[in-house]
Chain A
Amino acid sequence: MTGPVRPPMVDIRGATKRYGELLANDRVDLQLRRGEVHALLGENGAGKSTLSKILYGFIRPDAGEILLDGAPVCLRSPRDARARGIGMVFQDFMLIPALDVQENIALFLPGSPGRGGLEQRIRAYGERFGLVVDPRAPVRQLPVGERQKVEILKLLLGEARVLILDEPTKVLAPHEVAALFKVFAALRAEGYAVLFITHKLREVLACADRITVLRQGRVAGGFGPGEADADALVTLMFGERLGEEAPGGGAPMAGAPLLELRGASCRASGSETALKDLDLAVGGGEIVGVAGVSGSGQKELGDLIQGLRPLSQGSRWFGGEEATRWSVARMRRAGMAVVPEDPLGMAAVSGMTVRENLYLGTGGRYRKGLGIAWRALDAAMAASFRALGFPRPPPELPAGALSGGNLQRLVIAREMAHRPRLVVALYPTRGLDVRSAASVRAFLRRARDEGAGVLFISEDLDELGEMADRLLVLYAGSLAGAFPRGAWGAEAVGRLMTGSREAARA
């Protein structure tokens, strides 16, 4: 090559960051060029978030430097980064639901929230990049896809030239993802640089110009346009093939379904989603998956089934008995187990010991007069841990000291100690490292194989695809569709998830 080469817009050299014993980023190099979509790929915990936060000024690296347009800079804070044209859209948006779109954007721009001028600019940019939103709408009323548009607009109006997006497609349905890629194309055409952080291979292959793969804090490899393929990426991401059990499937037990909802509806307040007229059945020996975009009513459905939320109409049946008015305690006594998405927030008390946590939720089983039959409890729980093959945490340890994976295993051991008939799993692998997630999935499959009925609610289509014997799709509080095994494709499900019935556009 001859002639002067323009320096890349962003050049990260040797970024290193340590948190105690964990080396989150280890001498990472990354370059972003003008007018490109650069994917940063890696599994959970690979160091992608840390790197992006370094670039955005949230964190200062222990070593390494950042050059913008060839000149070294020191980014002390997000304010600094924004002043230099670097913007970031977080996974949980930095939006304030109570304020409207225009105020949310104004928050991040200098000057007063003058109404007229900003509104016009919002609309103009919306047209230009395919990010059309109503500036006056309160953000709390916007669906997730629109909120993401507001976040991107915020960056563009703030004169960002480099946009970092952290797992932007996590909360989108397939055709919304396609719309996002169109926005990327518009941005690329106008010379912006997009750093697209994700762990989803297919998306990366579909839209990225260049790819950098991180594994355990280091750059495992990189690819230019057209050079990568799925196998190569997987090998770089994981280092070795991670084999999971092939999805098995017992045939569902004959006879009455274990859990049934007939015409169930429930009310909603505020930002909740009301459920309308749901018919659902889970039999013993099967895994029923429930797919849906975030906010389709999954939480409400989970609460309804557990007995945490009353039905406004319809009925609920458990083990053949009418259970519409049963409390949570009663459902649990009758053999319901729950594996929630956030064990620390929903199923354990961090300040209490492991042993005390194992006691909670066992209902009246271990009462001894006014006290507790600790010996019997310890024995039963030890047996449960053994049967599951989980390591047993020390009983006097405060539950808050356990890692996410170990806490989820504690919850599972507790829930499974009394052979439940029904397992309600709500995003059970959320936030877990790869190995813990795999062990949770294995446990659910084994529970199914041993005759329990499993209801598995998740927003991860890949996970649902692997696990479910039958798949239900929830949209806006109603059941949009149901598929037996092998009868669904991502496109069909995705369309139902977003309520559209038209054929997906190419």
Chain B
Amino acid sequence: MSAPLALGVAAGAVLSGTSLLYATLGETLGERAGIVNLGLEGIMLMGASVGFATTAATGSPWLGLGAAAAAGGLGNLLFGWLVVTRRANQLAGGLAMLFFGFGASALIGAPYVGAVITGLPKWRPAFLQELPWVRGTTLFHYDILIWLAAPVTGLVWWALFRTRWGLGVRAVGESPAAAYASGRDPGVLQYQALAAGGVLGGLAGAHLALSLTLTWAEYMTAGRGFIAIALVIFSKWRPLRALAGALLFGGAEALELQLQARGAGISPFLLEMFPYLLTILVLLAWGGSRRLFAPAALGRTFYGLD
């Protein structure tokens, strides 16, 4: 692999991987509390569409970002109502959110298709501007979501493993009965984890629309939500490993784009398949050991004792 290609892939990995990372972190929070949201794709689409629409309407990418985060959080709370309060099957509820996301995002984004927006501002720290191999590339020239990616990862880790709240969330995901016996309300903790996770999911979608592509198109997340769900498994539900996974898959996507751009002679369609096939391979490789690392009560609905 030539140096410019490698650099291009590295730069692209960060750009593509950020959205994946936020989505993965958000889903990790929910799954640690025992809830799988297959509709993550829908949440991301809502974040993207709401963010784009708000930015196009108000001219401020910051408002768009905030709106996207709110949309994601509210979406996940709606999902929470379905699966926690109404005790719906989580897989079916997730698919309901998926359709909801498809439809709502299409409706919200429709008036703004083709709109031109000012995206999130990017900047690069002064001392890095000097380096010759950095100038002229996208390296280190990032928007706020990318700069905050690592700190947010650390924040999620700290919240899950170093706070009382996180201990409670993990307990709910492992054994709702034990969490209840310790005086906690598993439902409340699940709602909280979902709300936080939804915010991150909304931001993940927003990054695509407000920074990477500066457009809105229906279904623009192209399955990233499902890749993120696979990444949660790949990272064994640990936020710090999610960082590595997101970079890996971001890199795969970047590689595909670089090869396309350089006219490598491989059909773009075949290249596009790569992330999905890679995801399946990864799940295959990790599959057997999944039982050991997954939160024990993942996917179950909680009925109270006995």
Give A residues with C-beta under 8 Å from B.
58, 77-79, 82, 90, 94-99, 103, 106-108, 111-113, 270
Contact A99 B164 (CB under 8 A): no
Task: Name the contact of A108 in the complex, choosing from B174, B182, B295, B296 (C-beta under 8 A).
Answer: B182
Contact B183 A78 (CB under 8 A): yes
B189-206 interface mask toward A, CB cutoff 8 Å, 1 = contact, 0 = none? 000000000000000000
Q: Does B92 have its Cβ within 8 Å of any Cβ on chain A?
A: no
B241 vs chain A, min Cβ distance (A): 16
Bound Cα distance from A107 to B178, whole angstroms = 9
Task: Select the residue from B164, B168, B291, B292 with max chain A CB neighbours within 10 A.
Answer: B164
A58 and chain B: residue at smallest CB distance:
B305
Contact B291 A270 (CB under 8 A): yes
Q: Does B167 have its Cβ within 8 Å of any Cβ on chain A?
A: yes
Contact A106 B291 (CB under 8 A): no
Bound Cα distance from A179 to B46, whole angstroms = 60
Contact B296 A97 (CB under 8 A): yes
A47 vs chain B, min Cβ distance (A): 15
Bound Cα distance from A103 to B295, whole angstroms = 15
Task: Select the residue from A78, A96, A97, A99 with max chain B CB neighbours within 10 A.
Answer: A96
A81 and chain B: residue at smallest CB distance:
B183
Task: Name the contact of A113 in the complex, choosing from B164, B177, B179, B291 (C-beta under 8 A).
Answer: B164
With A94-B178, A96-B175 as given contacts, are A107 and B167 in contact (CB-CB < 8 Å)?
Answer: yes
A56 vs chain B, min Cβ distance (A): 9
Hey, which chain A residues are within 8 Å of B162, CB to CB? 112-113
Bound Cα distance from A99 to B295, whole angstroms = 10
Hey, which chain B residues are within 8 Å of A112, CB to CB? 162-164
Task: Name the contact of A94 in the complex, choosing from B181, B291, B292 (C-beta under 8 A).
Answer: B181
Q: Does B146 have its Cβ within 8 Å of any Cβ on chain A?
A: no
Known: A82-B183, A96-B296, A113-B163. 19 other contacts (CB 8 A): A58-B305, A79-B183, A90-B181, A94-B178, A94-B182, A98-B170, A98-B296, A99-B171, A99-B174, A103-B167, A106-B167, A107-B168, A107-B182, A108-B181, A108-B182, A108-B183, A112-B162, A113-B167, A270-B292
Residues from 137 to 193 in B contacting A, C-beta threshold 8 Å = 162-164, 167-168, 170-171, 174-175, 177-183
Contact A96 B183 (CB under 8 A): no
With A112-B163, A112-B164 as given contacts, are A96 and B174 in contact (CB-CB < 8 Å)?
Answer: yes
A141 vs chain B, min Cβ distance (A): 12
Hey, which chain A residues are within 8 Å of B291, CB to CB? 270
Bound Cα distance from A90 to B177, whole angstroms = 11
With A94-B178, A111-B164, A112-B163 as given contacts, are A99 and B183 in contact (CB-CB < 8 Å)?
Answer: no
Hey, which chain A residues are within 8 Å of B295, CB to CB? 98
A260 vs chain B, min Cβ distance (A): 32
Bound Cα distance from A307 to B291, whole angstroms = 23
A268 vs chain B, min Cβ distance (A): 13
Hey, which chain B residues are within 8 Å of A98, CB to CB? 170, 174, 295-296
Contact A96 B164 (CB under 8 A): no
Bound Cα distance from A97 to B173, whole angstroms = 12
Hey, which chain A residues are within 8 Å of B174, CB to CB? 96-99
Contact A94 B177 (CB under 8 A): yes
Bound Cα distance from A77 to B185, whole angstroms = 11
Hey, which chain B residues are within 8 Å of A270, CB to CB? 291-292
Contact B170 A99 (CB under 8 A): yes
Return the 5 tightest CB-CB contacts between A and B, nearest first: A79-B183, A94-B178, A96-B174, A94-B181, A108-B182
Bound Cα distance from A82 to B171, whole angstroms = 18
B179 and chain A: residue at smallest CB distance:
A107
Hey, which chain B residues are within 8 Å of A96, CB to CB? 170-171, 174-175, 178, 296
Hey, which chain B residues are within 8 Å of A108, CB to CB? 181-183
Hey, which chain A residues are within 8 Å of B171, CB to CB? 96, 99, 107
B183 and chain A: residue at smallest CB distance:
A79
Hey, which chain A residues are within 8 Å of B305, CB to CB? 58
Bound Cα distance from A469 to B130, whole angstroms = 87
Bound Cα distance from A488 to B170, whole angstroms = 47
B292 and chain A: residue at smallest CB distance:
A270
Bound Cα distance from A103 to B167, whole angstroms = 8
B49-80 interface mask toward A, CB cutoff 8 Å, 1 = contact, 0 = none? 00000000000000000000000000000000
A140 vs chain B, min Cβ distance (A): 9
Query: What are 13 A-B contacts defined by CB distance under 8 Å?
Result: A78-B180, A78-B183, A79-B183, A82-B183, A94-B178, A96-B175, A97-B296, A103-B167, A107-B167, A107-B178, A111-B164, A112-B164, A113-B164
B268-306 interface mask toward A, CB cutoff 8 Å, 1 = contact, 0 = none? 000000000000000000000001100110000000010
B182 vs chain A, min Cβ distance (A): 5
Bound Cα distance from A270 to B180, whole angstroms = 26
Hey, which chain B residues are within 8 Å of A107, CB to CB? 167-168, 171, 178-179, 182
Bound Cα distance from A106 to B305, whole angstroms = 21
B237 and chain A: residue at smallest CB distance:
A98
Bound Cα distance from A111 to B164, whole angstroms = 7
Bound Cα distance from A95 to B171, whole angstroms = 9
Task: Name the contact of B175 in the complex, choosing from A58, A94, A113 (C-beta under 8 A).
Answer: A94
A266 vs chain B, min Cβ distance (A): 17
Bound Cα distance from A112 to B171, whole angstroms = 14
Bound Cα distance from A107 to B180, whole angstroms = 11
Bound Cα distance from A58 to B171, whole angstroms = 19
Bound Cα distance from A106 to B292, whole angstroms = 23
Hey, which chain A residues are within 8 Å of B292, CB to CB? 270
A79 and chain B: residue at smallest CB distance:
B183
Bound Cα distance from A77 to B180, whole angstroms = 10
Bound Cα distance from A95 to B178, whole angstroms = 7
Contact A78 B181 (CB under 8 A): yes
B237 vs chain A, min Cβ distance (A): 10
B164 and chain A: residue at smallest CB distance:
A112
Bound Cα distance from A108 to B167, whole angstroms = 10
Task: Select the residue from B162, B167, B179, B180 with max chain A CB neighbours within 10 A.
Answer: B167
With A96-B174, A107-B178, A270-B292 as given contacts, are A77 and B183 in contact (CB-CB < 8 Å)?
Answer: yes
B265 vs chain A, min Cβ distance (A): 45
Bound Cα distance from A112 to B161, whole angstroms = 10
B305 and chain A: residue at smallest CB distance:
A58
B295 and chain A: residue at smallest CB distance:
A98
Hey, which chain A residues are within 8 Å of B181, CB to CB? 78, 90, 94, 108
A92 and chain B: residue at smallest CB distance:
B177
Hey, which chain A residues are within 8 Å of B168, CB to CB? 107
Hey, which chain B residues are within 8 Å of A82, CB to CB? 183
A90 vs chain B, min Cβ distance (A): 8
Bound Cα distance from A79 to B180, whole angstroms = 9
B289 vs chain A, min Cβ distance (A): 9
A113 and chain B: residue at smallest CB distance:
B167
Bound Cα distance from A419 to B208, whole angstroms = 68
B160 vs chain A, min Cβ distance (A): 11
Hey, which chain A residues are within 8 Å of B183, CB to CB? 77-79, 82, 108
A88 and chain B: residue at smallest CB distance:
B181
A140 and chain B: residue at smallest CB distance:
B292
Bound Cα distance from A275 to B291, whole angstroms = 21
B157 vs chain A, min Cβ distance (A): 14
A386 vs chain B, min Cβ distance (A): 36
Hey, which chain A residues are within 8 Å of B163, CB to CB? 112-113
Bound Cα distance from A98 to B170, whole angstroms = 9
Hey, which chain B residues are within 8 Å of A95, CB to CB? 178
B297 vs chain A, min Cβ distance (A): 10
